Chain A
Amino acid sequence: MIIDSYSSILKLAAYVLLLLAAVAPVVYRNLPQVAQAEFVIERESQLKESQPNMTLGYACEDCLVPAVHGASIIEKLDGGLLATWFGGSREGGKDVVLWGADLSPGNKGWSTPRRIVGPAETRAALGRYIKTVGNSVLVRGAQNELWLYYVTVSVGGWAGSSLNAIRSLDDGKSWDAPRRLISSPFFNISTLNKSAAIHYSDGSIGLPVYHEFIGKFSELLYLDSRGQVSDKTRITQGRLAIQPLLLPLAPQQAIALMRDTGPRPGRVLASRSDDAGQHWTKEEKLTLPNPDSAVAGLRRPNGSLLLVFNDTESGRHSLALAMSRDDGRSWQTVRHFEQAVEGKNEFSYPYLIRSSNGSMHLLYTWNRKRIRHISFNDSWVDGGRP
């Protein structure tokens, strides 16, 4: 009887220990998060007066492969630029890899494209079949390390996408082995990235992503200093809005501008957050047209917003720049980068950054054959002729 009683007490004690070991670490790690991180915002300032400047070029004019798409760009620590894009025989082909090129400070031309990562390296690192690679986004980490988040597909089309990450500690010269991000509970499929990441005051990164499986919706992934997913919020639901571009307006406020995948005619969609991305308003249609195509943009130091978009009801043959001075409520088209006749021309997947010297750099897919690079300054945007 006594032995039975001891045995029961021992079992109970072992169970309680197990319970504590299971629950205590979760509580310990997550309860201290009292202060909510805020968006990192460039301080408001007047734009510098300078001569209007706009330079046309290509990040890759001879891209070494027949088809290229989905470019990303970032400023390097030495003030140069690094661009990545995917390319191969065709979009979704098994020979598609991620390419990269540099523009060194003071140089006019980009380096010859070099292979960064492809299905083979990803497959070897992850122990999985990888059919192809897709969109990539370059992100500067809190310790000045460089991250490249990119899409891979194992089975099916883009709906079967997963996100992966590689890290560079030498500003893009070499990269760590690929690592997989788990961002969906359903076979971890259907997460893609397209637009630039945003930074939080605690050093974490907000990576805008979207899903294209049963639903077509936008989300914001939170990435910690190790590049791991630490949280996520849903920006939209249903099947209407993808490829979110996030523009922080104030430490707690942001606007998400999205590609319209709903009924035609499409409009650029907008959703807003007043709590640093924790919650988002229902998407609303702006007056800007959207032919089911991606947008790019940024917030300038004077608070105005810029948006690069296809200003057509259908087709991607025209690419324009719009500006908003009221946090994205009203927009005015101020410039055109491309205005071809409707037909086979395609100018798509823009990606826009502002470098530390105030220059803006736009990359986009030029007829799926080249990656166009256009740099311009504030004076050119604000109306002066170059």
Chain B
Amino acid sequence: MSILYNALPSLGQVLLVAVLLTLMSGRLVKDKQLHRVSVAILLSLGMFVPVYGLTFAQWLRSVVGDLSVLSLVIFSNILAQRLFNLKLLEASARNTLLAGVALVGVVFYPLALGVSAFDPYRLGYAPVLMSAVLSIFSIYAWLKINRLLAIILLLPLLAFNLHLLESTNLWDYLIDPILLIYALTQLLVNNEFLRFKQMRAWFGK
């Protein structure tokens, strides 16, 4: 059980370190093969070589905590694309996902941090309502948008049922501050707020 319990947090650490290394070294190493090798070597160091008793990944975990399941999906996509020229997610599905994260995140975090008496984080403890909403979005995505996106929207629920993170709250399987920062950055940098228009079109304006 402890292996299962630690699998997802460990995968999150691997992916986060790998993404950081990939993005940083991508500017220095242009050759794809060399880039993959350098990331693999640095990743091994980051994951296994302790500095003051903890590995780089554990130091990172000390600050950012565990990543959500949707972060794992997005980060896996970044690695596949940057290191292997593979696109796990179609651009439209990725952008829809990031737009959704940004939209939810900018409302969710201030409320969860005490701005109002309403605490949306509480909905994640016995998340019948949240599961219903996620299922409706997933079914809509299956029928109208992208089938992979439909499945991705169910992954946090599956991981929550198996208690694969330390948290007992569904929100922590769905979203995390690192993902929100990444989503906002991507939307701003790529001027992808225009995609909201596309989302509006999908959801019938």
Contacts and interface: CB of A to CB of B under 8 A. Distances in A.
6 contacts: A18-B158, A26-B131, A186-B177, A188-B65, A230-B126, A231-B122
Given A123-B53, A128-B61, A237-B115, A185 B175 contact: yes
Contacts of A11: 147
Secondary structure of the B side of the interface?
Answer: helix
Contacts of B115: 215, 237
Given A15-B147, A22-B154, A187 B63 contact: yes
Interface string A353-371: 0000000000000000000
B168 A182 contact: yes
Residue of B114, B121, B176 most packed against chain A (CB within 10 A)? B114
Interface size band for B: 35 or more
Contacts of B191: none
Contacts of A154: 62-63
B33 interface: no
B113 interface: yes
B73 to A, nearest CB: 15
Interface of A: 11, 15, 18-19, 21-23, 25-27, 29-31, 33, 123, 127-130, 154-155, 179-180, 182, 184-188, 211, 213-217, 219, 228-234, 237-239
A15 B150 contact: yes
Nearest to B160: A26
Contacts of A184: 112-113, 121
A154 B58 CA distance: 12
Given A186-B177, A214-B114, A232 B168 contact: no
Contacts of B134: 22
B112 A185 contact: yes
Given A127-B61, A214-B113, A237-B114, A182 B138 contact: no
A185 B138 contact: no
Nearest to A27: B128
A187 B157 contact: no
Contact of A187 (B128, B158, B177): B177
B20 interface: no
Sorted from nearest, which 5 A-B pairs have the closest CB atoms? A215-B114, A22-B157, A182-B167, A129-B62, A30-B126
Nearest to B174: A185
A130 B53 CA distance: 11
B129 to A, nearest CB: 10
A187 B62 CA distance: 9
B34 interface: no
Nearest to B113: A214
B111 to A, nearest CB: 10
Interface in B142-180: 142, 147, 150-151, 154, 157-158, 160-161, 165-172, 175-177
Given A26-B157, A188-B65, A182 B172 contact: yes
